[in-house]
Amino acid sequence: GDSVTQMEGPVTLSEEAFLTINCTYTATGYPSLFWYVQYPGEGLQLLLKATKADDKGSNKGFEATYRKETTSFHLEKGSVQVSDSAVYFCALSARDDKIIFGKGTRLHILP
Amino acid sequence: GAVVSQHPSWVICKSGTSVKIECRSLDFQATTMFWYRQFPKQSLMLMATSNEGSKATYEQGVEKDKFLINHASLTLSTLTVTSAHPEDSSFYICSASSEQWISGNTIYFGEGSWLTVV
C-alpha cells in the first residue's frame, strides 16, 4: 500500500545551519505530497505542498521538490532559526482524500 | 485562519468506561472530518472518515462498535471510545475539511487528545 518514510529524529542543529529532512514515498498513481509542521502545543499545519512531478513547494524559507524518479520529497532550509524547532511530517494523498503521514521528525535548533 | 478545536486535550479514564472526544470547527462548516490515532514512534493512522449527516467510513481493522463516531452537525464530530482498555491509550487527532481536499490547504487539524486508560 501507499506509505511515507522519513528520517527519524531528533535532529539537532545550531541556528543558521542548513537543514535537510529526507522523505521518500511509495504510492500508486500520482500522489500529492506535503510537509506538515507541528509546533509545541499546536495542531498540525500545512507547511508546503507539491501536486505533480518537478513541482517545488516553498514557504517560510523551506523548500521541497517533488522527485518522481527517486520518489522523494526532501525538506530543506538554508538557515534555520530557533523558532523552527518543531515536529515535521511528510505526507501524501493519493486517492479517496486520505492522507498518509510519515512518522514525523523532531527538530531542535540550538541558539 | 480556520481553527479546529479538539477537547479534551488530556483525559484519563478507568478501564471499562467510555470516553468522548470532541472535534469542532470554529469558523467554517466542516463537511468532512477525519479521525487519526498515533501510536508511539509510528505515523498517524487514519481511523475513519466522518461526513456530516451520514455514517462514518471506518478503515480496515478499526472496530466501529468500539470507536463510535458521530458527525451530527457541520461543526462537530465526536469520537467515543467505548469500554476502554489500556491498549486504547493513545494520541487521537482530528482534522476537518470544508470542501473536497485536493490542494491540501483546506485540511485543518486539531491539537489532539491524549487518552490514558488505567
Cis peptide before A31 (omega within 30 of 0): no
**Measured between beta carbons, which residues in chain B are less than 8 angstroms from residue A98?**
46, 49
Whether B112 and A103 lie within 8 Å, measured CB to CB: no
Are β-strands B4-7 and B107-109 bridged in parallel, bridged antiparallel, or unpaired? unpaired
CA distance A50 to A28: 16
Strands (E), chain B: 4-7, 10-13, 19-25, 32-38, 44-51, 57-58, 67-73, 76-81, 90-97, 107-109, 113-117
Residue B79 CA to residue A103 CA, distance in Å, equals: 23
Give the Cα-Cα-Cα angle B11, B14, B16 (nearest 5 degrees). 120
Return the pLDDT at A104: 82
* DSSP state, residue A79: S
Segment A86-110 shows an average pLDDT of 79
Residue A100 has pLDDT above 90, yes or no: no
d(CA A50, CA A56): 6
How many CB pairs (< 8 A) connect A and B? 52
Minimum-distance CB partner of A103 among B42, B102, B109: B42
Least-confidence region, from A100-104, B13-17, B21-25:
A100-104
Measured between CB atoms, does B105 come within 8 Å of chain A? yes
First to last CA, chain A: 41
Q: What pLDDT sits at residue B102?
A: 38
Q: Is the pLDDT of residue B40 over 70?
A: no
Alpha-helical segments (H) within B5-118: none
CB B87 within 8 A of CB B63: no
Q: For all residues of chain B together, what is the average pLDDT?
A: 84
Which residue would you say has higher pLDDT here, A40 or A41? A40
Residue B108's CB is within 10 A of a number of other CB atoms, namely 24
pLDDT of residue B78: 95
- Give the separation between CA B89 and CA A67, rounded to whole angstroms: 37
Residue A103 is nearest to which of B43, B105, B108, comparing CB atoms? B43
With a cut of 80, say whether residue A11 has pLDDT above it: yes
The 10s digit of each residue's pLDDT in A56-82 is: 999 999 999 999 999 999 999 999 999
* Rounded mean pLDDT, B44-69: 87
- Cβ contact (<8 Å) for B101 and A34? no
Contact B115, B84 (CB under 8 A): yes
pLDDT digits (tens, 9 = 90+) for B60-98: 899 999 999 998 888 999 999 999 999 999 889 898 876
Is the distance from CB of A44 to CB of A102 less than 8 angstroms? no
Say whether A49 and B103 touch across the interface (CB within 8 A).
Answer: yes
Q: What is the pLDDT of residue A43?
A: 56
* Structure confidence at residue A95 (pLDDT): 60
Q: Report chain B residues whose CB lies below 8 A from the CB of A44.
A: 93, 95, 109
Cell numbers placing A9? 529524529
Residue B42 pLDDT = 57
Q: Are A97 and B44 within 8 A, CB to CB?
A: no
Q: Does B95 touch chain A (CB under 8 A)?
A: yes
Higher pLDDT, B22 or B43: B22
- Residue with more model confidence, B8 or A97: B8
